[in-house]
Homo-oligomer: A and B are copies of this chain.
Amino acid sequence: MTSSISKTERFLRACRRQPVDRAPVWMMRQAGRYLAEYQAIRSRVSFIELCKSPDLAVEVSLQPLQLVGVEAVIMFSDILIPLEAMGAPIAFDDGGPRITEPLCSRGQVEALVVPDPEERMPFCFETIRRLRAELGGEVPLIGFAGAPYTLASYLVEGGSSKSYATIKAMLFSAPELAHALLAKLADTIAAYLQAAVAAGAQVVQLFDTWAGELAPEDYREFAFPYQQRVFAQLDQARAPAVLYVNGSCGILEMMAETGASVLSIDWRTDLAEARRRVGQRVALQGNVDPAVLLGTPEKIRAVTDETLRKGGSSGHILNLGHGILPSTPLANARLFCAAPTIFSEAQP
């Protein structure tokens, strides 16, 4: 079956749970270390230079479209960029971004500003404008940001963490300080995503990667209201919003009430079960284990086809359940992206 709808139209229709000929596909962290072409650029410039140079950010954003066959382009950037614009103490070293002075006091929270996005992060919106011009509306452009809870974790832990003991100690012993921080982050991120849509992003994704580390009642208190606060400020008739949480099995029903149009879920929940639980309120994105792309072609095909079957004929965007692993062979990433086309052709 040959389809005449554009990739953009298919993607946006899937986000809105309108019927489509087949699921669209892209991959989280799709511009990255598994691509030699990305590595070649990174060998010349630092990570932060790459984020802040629209020429280069556009180039690496487009690489997966040309090399892998994804059906949506996500702008290349980093979730910590808005934190830097807030005045948080971040250093972008060769080993990756680093909070030089983890946040622990009321004074540090009060010192953070809610920045004007275009003024403080012009390179982000320049990247979006150029990408949108390059894509010409044929392929959808995704903007993204970290969610308040995940950004707060980063600021308080000083980086990723095994047990998230430091941020949780704040939540459970100084909740009013945590709430002050989360509110400021929510307003920063809402303004940032509004500016991304104004610059040309047709979809936005909010990454609350670490919110799945919270017990359901703690998610309800510390993550959910700030996700809601971000989504309430976005015009989703213009650009649908996707919410990603890693380890979301215990909170799916709440996620469906945040105001997101699409829930992006990890591989530890069965996709058919997720659909049953959230009903018809939201579209679903996911949810193949990124490690499946380290397997045989037969394994990749079996898991992807089963995911497409469970995702159903509307309201499903094929994706990984987390970012693509750096060790993924390029051929396997290509096979994953080709699956919806192959699969739809195999259907009666």
Contact among B163, B171, B249, B267 with A269 in the assembled complex (CB-CB below 8 Å): B249
* Interface size of A as a range: 35 or more
Q: Within the oligomer, what is the number of copies of this chain?
A: 2
Mark A206-230 against chain B: 1 for CB-CB distance below 8 A, else 0: 0000001111111000000000000
* Residue ID in chain B nearest A172 by CB atoms: B295
Is A165 among interface residues, defined by CB-CB distance under 8 A?
yes
Main SS class of interface, A: helix
- Most chain B Cβ neighbours within 10 Å, of A172, A267, A299: A172
> Is the Cβ of A163 less than 8 Å from the Cβ of B215?
no
One digit per residue, 1 when the CB lies within 8 angstroms of any chain B CB and 0 when it does not, for chain A 324-348 equals: 0101000000000000000000000
Beyond A325-B163, A327-B165, is A268–B249 a contact (Cβ under 8 Å)?
A: yes
| A168 CB-CB contact with B under 8 Å | yes
Set of chain B residues within 8 Å of A306, measured between Cβ atoms: 217
A173 at the interface (CB under 8 A from B): yes
Within 8 A of B (CB), among A216-251: 216-218, 247, 249-251
A299-325: contact bitstring with B at CB < 8 Å (1 yes, 0 no)?
100010010000000000000010001
Within 8 A of B (CB), among A282-307: 289-292, 294-296, 299, 303, 306
B249 pairs with A165, CB closer than 8 A: no
Bound-state Cα–Cα, A111 to B313, Å: 49
A47 within 8 A of B: no
In the complex, the answer to whether B294 meets A218 with C-beta atoms within 8 Å is no
A164 within 8 A of B: yes
Are the C-beta atoms of A268 and B163 separated by less than 8 Å?
A: no
Whether, in the assembled complex, A113 has its beta carbon less than 8 Å from a beta carbon of chain B, the answer is: no
| Given known A269-B250, A291-B165, contact A172–B299 (CB-CB < 8 A) | yes
Q: Does A67 contact B (CB under 8 A)?
A: no
Known: A212-B268, A247-B247, A249-B269. A295 touches B173 (CB 8 A): yes
Q: Are B249 and A168 in contact (CB under 8 A)?
A: no
In the assembled complex, A270 has its CB within 8 A of some CB on chain B? yes
Instruction: Say whether A169 contacts B268, CB under 8 Å.
Output: no
26 contacts between A and B (CB under 8 A): A165-B294, A165-B325, A165-B327, A168-B289, A168-B291, A168-B292, A168-B294, A168-B295, A172-B292, A172-B295, A172-B299, A173-B295, A212-B268, A214-B268, A214-B289, A215-B268, A215-B321, A216-B268, A216-B270, A217-B270, A247-B247, A249-B249, A249-B250, A249-B269, A250-B268, A250-B273
User: Shortest 9 CB-CB distances between A and B: which pairs?
Assistant: A172-B295, A249-B249, A168-B291, A169-B294, A215-B267, A250-B268, A172-B299, A249-B250, A250-B269
Chain A residues in the interface with B (C-beta under 8 A): 163-165, 168-169, 171-173, 212-218, 247, 249-251, 267-270, 273, 289-292, 294-296, 299, 303, 306, 321, 325, 327
